[in-house]
Amino acid sequence: NRSAPLTSQQVVDITRQHNYGTWRFQKGWNPMHIMDAEGCYIVDGAGKRYLDFSSQLMCSNLGHKNQAVIDAIARQAQELSYAMPGYATTARAELSQLLLEVLPKGISKFFFTTSGTEANEAAFKIARMYTGKTKIIARYRSYHGSTAGSIAATGDPRRWAMEPGGKGPGILFAPEVHCYKCPIKHTYPGCGIACADYIEHMIRNESDVAAVLVEPIVGTNGVIVPPEEYMPKLRRICDEYGVLLIADEVMTGWGRTGEWFAMNHWGVVPDILVTAKGITSAYVPLGLCATTEKIADFFQDHYFAHGHTYEAHPLTLAPAVATIHEMQRLGLVERARELAPYVEDKLKELKAKHPSIGDVRGKGLFWAVDLVKDRTTKEPFNTYSDKVSGKPLLVDQIAAKILADGVTIQAWVSHFVIAPPLIVTKEQIDFGISVLDKHLAIADAALGA
């Protein structure tokens, strides 16, 4: 017996009055009421449909309302809605078997969480327990989560708000790999991957390094694809110094880049792989911290000092099983790979047309459109400092126009992330890009302003 349904306006008003809007000033938050969603579309309170051009937060990889996943949730709720982590469950065993099929070979021991953030926290603790060392080398222009450890390891400025309380212990930052705007002013090719050499230099000159932590393709901070040589070189460096390599595949996993996991592009197996988001296509909250057998063996005789009430919660695991089956049935990893050149060509056309686009880059169905004031200096229209000082961002202004024309797109500081559900059609891609095309006129007009 539900009380009278709330109007759409009530839903919005109650939400903003009693909930925190994330990563923003609370004033001015006017969340859209999502009433429904299906396939590549979401529907607002007035019944208007929007193409979900960034899969919400780059996570609804299967698209919305996949019946097999919905059925799996319902079945699991009927069968067993909770068991504490000390028990074995059918969903846990089935998912573990499937993970062995899709994860990079050699990754075979699993710890389940309810977010990517917590999966990273687990990875840091496991790396520290296993190596007996403390320091983790992360990179600037990265995001690894919002809790104490993972925000401390986040290189992007979202970390700044936590720093007055003291820098996170044991975290060091290296320059990111970013050939479009190399932080150490080298030019690829011909640089010898100096940014990886820099990490080696850090390891040599620091005591106590447990791990190097990377997003294989940097996500929110601009879909930054490393050159081919980078990841194999990092693997060699880590092996040489006995340092673990942690791949944060929270955003890049699950077919997003045209491989089950982005590390597969370079044939590199990390020691610890962290993922979340697409693992259930975000139907329920699930994260995973997965390790090699070698690390697993260590804990046979060493105390595994970690756990959560909701670890391996059966309601989160059953939909992951269904998600993997659906991805296999629909061939979505292959689909992302096949559609990549189509998206790339379209975005290159867009770049040729709009002088405000500095760079387009990506892999699979994971792309960034990077806006700059000036193609020579590559200066962005806005910086994170503008965001936290409340200055309106050009990308937000453009995203609002794009939304009014029926497309939701992820805008971040001075770029857009294009990452539609992997079931997207060419026609839907055309539509999303045509709407972006139309409103990039705003950025072109702002050039030199």
Interface residues with ligand PLP (CB under 6 A) are 57, 115-117, 120, 143-145, 215, 219-220, 248, 250-251, 276
The CB-of-189 to ligand PLP minimum distance in angstroms stands at 27
CA gap 47, 49 in Å, rounded: 6
Residue nearest to ligand PLP (CB): 116
Query: Secondary structure of the chain: what % helix, strand, coil (to 5)?
Result: 40, 15, 40
The CB-of-68 to ligand PLP minimum distance in angstroms stands at 23
Q: By C-alpha distance, which of 101, 125, 131 is closest to 111? A: 125
Burial class (CB in 10 A: 0-12, 13-18, 19+), 84: exposed
- The residue among 56 and 397 lying less far from ligand PLP, judged by its C-beta, is 56
* Torsion of the alpha carbons at 254, 257, 260 and 262, rounded to the nearest 10: -110
Q: What is the DSSP letter of 5?
A: P
- The residue among 128 and 144 lying less far from ligand PLP, judged by its C-beta, is 144
The CB-of-287 to ligand PLP minimum distance in angstroms stands at 6
* Beta-bridge partners for 274: 248, 289
Burial class (CB in 10 A: 0-12, 13-18, 19+), 170: middle
The CB-of-273 to ligand PLP minimum distance in angstroms stands at 12
- The residue among 63 and 253 lying less far from ligand PLP, judged by its C-beta, is 253
The CB-of-57 to ligand PLP minimum distance in angstroms stands at 6
The CB-of-224 to ligand PLP minimum distance in angstroms stands at 12
Instruction: Record the tokens describing residue 403, joined without a space.
Output: 């939304």
- The residue among 273 and 399 lying less far from ligand PLP, judged by its C-beta, is 273
- The residue among 127 and 443 lying less far from ligand PLP, judged by its C-beta, is 127
- The residue among 220 and 281 lying less far from ligand PLP, judged by its C-beta, is 220
- The residue among 220 and 323 lying less far from ligand PLP, judged by its C-beta, is 220
| Contacts with 196 (C-beta within 8 Å, 6 or more apart), sequence order | 177, 230, 233, 234, 237
- The residue among 9 and 19 lying less far from ligand PLP, judged by its C-beta, is 19
* Residue 175, CA distances (Å) to 9, 268, 358 in order: 46, 21, 21
The CB-of-248 to ligand PLP minimum distance in angstroms stands at 5
CA gap 97, 281 in Å, rounded: 19
The CB-of-329 to ligand PLP minimum distance in angstroms stands at 26
Residue 195 DSSP SS3: helix
Give the chain's count of helices (H) and strands (E).
14, 15
| Contacts with 330 (C-beta within 8 Å, 6 or more apart), sequence order | 62, 422, 423
